[in-house]
């Protein structure tokens, strides 16, 4: 789908990337990641709407709006990944393709990070590749949307 819009949504504490636990999350800031997503999206003929919030309800509102404004969702829900049934419900209601991203390999860390509510609504999960994961997700999304 040429010119499709992908909502790239980031949850709590991801505004602190670059400063926050760089050994786990890498040196890139969220602004760096946004810039590389915009570059890759242009090559893929996609538009990217890149957002971050620390607030669960705000994330839910944006996912609801995506039903009308976007063609797919790339989501790093941060810690809400492991807790938020509200985000899961909003993703299901959106009826959009969803790709879940984590900078870190959540299966290699504490046990509580192993369960993801988001995964129940996701077409696929990319984790452990740092900022590259967002670009891989955009590539996968471009293919998914083309197939539909």
Residues found near ligand DQA in the complex (CB under 6 A):
13, 76, 78-79, 81, 102-104, 106, 113
Contacting residues for 80 by C-beta, under 8 A, at least 6 apart: 11, 12, 56, 59, 87
Choose between 4 and 121: whose C-beta lies nearer to ligand DQA.
121
Residue 147 CB, nearest approach to ligand DQA (Å) = 27
Residue 7 CB, nearest approach to ligand DQA (Å) = 17
Residue 121 is given by DSSP the state: G
25 among known catalytic residues: yes
Cα separation, 131 vs 30, in Å, equals 9
Residue 59 CB, nearest approach to ligand DQA (Å) = 13
117 among known catalytic residues: no
Do residues 100 and 119 make contact, with C-beta atoms less than 8 angstroms apart? yes
Do residues 41 and 47 make contact, with C-beta atoms less than 8 angstroms apart? yes
Looking at 25, 80, 117, 134, which residue is catalytic? Answer: 25
Q: Which residues are catalytic?
A: 25, 102
């Amino acid at each position: 789908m040429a010119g499709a819009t992908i909502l790239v949504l980031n949850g709590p504490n991801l505004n602190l990337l670059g400063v926050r636990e760089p050994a786990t999350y890498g040196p890139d800031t969220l602004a760096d990641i946004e810039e590389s997503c915009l570059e890759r999206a242009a090559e893929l003929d996609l538009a990217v709407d890149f957002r971050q919030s620390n607030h669960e309800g705000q994330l839910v509102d944006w996912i609801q709006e995506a039903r009308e404004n976007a063609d797919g969702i790339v989501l790093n829900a941060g810690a809400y990944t492991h807790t938020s049934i509200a985000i899961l419900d909003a993703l299901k209601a959106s009826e959009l393709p969803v790709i879940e991203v984590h900078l870190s390999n959540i299966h290699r860390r504490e046990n509580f990070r192993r369960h993801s509510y988001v995964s129940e609504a996701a077409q696929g999960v990319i984790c452990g590749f740092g900022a590259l994961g967002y670009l891989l997700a955009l590539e996968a999304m471009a293919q998914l949307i083309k197939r539909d």
